[in-house]
Amino acid sequence: MNGLGRKRKQRKIDADHSKVCFKPCGIRGCSLETIILYEDEMEAIRLADFESLYQQESADRMGISRTTFSRLVESARKKIADALLNQKAINIEKRIN
């Protein structure tokens, strides 16, 4: 084994979240700290919170395990809460493997 762990499984993302960002009103973007929300995290939020799907169904749609889906949702919610509570910008980006 090369010590790098398992190869990341390809995740299915049905919606295009590229080129999306959010920032607090009235604050110049250049002066804001930025949170990076990856597309797979955004897709997890879309499926769980917007589509109101159960975690197993959401995981199946993304082609990942339920535990991986759970970690994505938890990470995304924490990042979003941090941005909202601490007036940070959110950029949605592709995850580089």
Do the domain assignments include residue 47?
yes
Do the domain assignments include residue 34?
no
Do the domain assignments include residue 20?
no
Range of the domain at 82: 39-93
Do the domain assignments include residue 76?
yes
Model confidence over 18-44: pLDDT tens digits? 777 889 888 888 889 999 999 999 999
Do the domain assignments include residue 3?
no
Model confidence over 71-86: pLDDT tens digits? 999 999 999 999 999 9
Taking alpha carbons only, the member of 63, 7, 75 closest to residue 36 is 75
Do the domain assignments include residue 56?
yes
Domain total in the chain: 1
Do the domain assignments include residue 33?
no
- The residue ranking higher by pLDDT, 7 or 85, is 85
